[in-house]
Structure 1
């Protein structure tokens, strides 16, 4: 009796347990089979669980973020810190918010590697994939190109008449004002002058000094042209906002501090207004030029 009772108990307890364990499994299997059949009929793979998809999505997002952070700058700029020509493009790139990287080319412009890309050995120079030869020098040309490429009308208007005035102001600066500034300041800055200039010749020191003073005296006339003609009562050549011509002019006038040139009141206010308008975009590159001028003057006074 005891054995029979034990057998009966085992059978009774085994059957309900077997049924309870089998039914949920059977239902799950049936659901999976049904889902697989539906997917097969629709020509789609069986659905994946959210748990498996989530890590893939996260990994993909992380991969994109990593690729974005490793992205190379769109424009490479080779420059010389003490130069106002170089300062011009450095200010513009910052003010325009362009993705760029700067390389100090001091002592490198005559190397075979640099000359292979830039036979004129001039800075500033940009490297950009959109250029036919991959590089471009001359500060005004660089600003014009980048403004055109990125649609920066705020700095370089598209309207023909307005653009012509900006172009005219820059070309007048390069052709007339800047040569005077260079002749007046380069001897004090320790920069070499161009062949044919008195400062580059074997002339006596008094002749060189005379030529330097004559150049400084000649600055007043073209400077007034910028005030009375190109600005014509406006805050800037570009109107209410500085244009690429304004950036080029303000940077050029920075060099005059080395000879203690007495800028007229309007020019002082003009330069202060540009720096205020552009903020750090102007102040940071300008600080390199000003530091060099301060160093030169300190050396001269020592």
Structure 2
């Protein structure tokens, strides 16, 4: 079998989320860097692999898959046991709900703040975007009020997805002092395999955003 490849950009939160999931499940990957700032995702060779030209993209012996949370679920089902993506239908439904929360609410609101600053010349964060994100963080804080991890008392691939999103906005300088449960969870997340590598990418992302914000 060929090496499993992950086309990856370290500054991308979804890409780091997929890599964190792989490390959690203990799936060895060959990472192939696709620099979005240099528009390498639009190269002819990458477009042949993924016409939607996004990272992360997985190549598992010719099986191509993109969308970070789909990749995490696939790796957990194919190469893991049910430890991080439980087979119990209700436990799995809760993990899925948190993954969808990240993809539909948390990450899009982070992206709405950061991408215009990175790519559209915006230098200030609109108050309405701050309110939207803090409202979403309030829900996450509630999720964590009665459980150790985001989808219950066991670590799961939902934590790796949300960790990648959260560390990105934290490195921009977001204040989470109003969310004590998130703070506690983030401290617990330091034990997740690949945490430091994730932080390296998050710091680069945060620095790229911060340098364009008007102070």
Q: TM-score of the superposition, structure 1-length normalised? A: 0.63
Matches within 5 A, 1:1-302: 72-73=2-3, 75-106=4-35, 107-129=39-61, 134-188=63-117, 190-191=118-119, 209=124, 212-228=126-142, 230-263=143-176, 264-275=179-190, 277-279=191-193, 281-298=194-211
Do 2:141 and 2:180's aligned partners in 1 also have CA atoms closer than 8 Å? no
- Tell me, what secondary structure is at the counterpart of 1:127? strand
Long gaps (5+) in structure 1:
1-70, 193-198, 200-204
- Name the larger-Rg structure: 1
Could you report, residue by residue, the CA deviation over 1:45-92 in whole angstroms, capped at 9, with x for unpaired residues?
Answer: xxxxxxxxxxxxxxxxxxxxxxxxxx852x100011111111101111
Q: 1:156–1:217: structure 2 CA closer, same or farther, 3 Å change rule?
A: same
Question: Which is richer in helix?
Answer: 1
Residues of 1 paired with 2:147 and 2:75: CA distance?
25
Query: How much does 1:301 deviate?
Result: 7.6
Query: How much does 1:227 deviate?
Result: 2.7
Do 1:169 and 1:226's aligned partners in 2 also have CA atoms closer than 8 Å? no
More deviation in 147-156 or 135-144?
147-156
| Larger relative contact order (CA 8 Å, sep ≥ 6) | 2
Residues of 2 paired with 1:168 and 1:148: CA distance?
17
Q: TM-score of the superposition, structure 2-length normalised? A: 0.86
Number of residue-to-residue matches in the alignment: 210
Do 2:144 and 2:185's aligned partners in 1 also have CA atoms closer than 8 Å? no
Residues of 2 paired with 1:285 and 1:102: CA distance?
14
Residues of 2 paired with 1:178 and 1:292: CA distance?
14
Query: How much does 1:156 deviate?
Result: 0.6
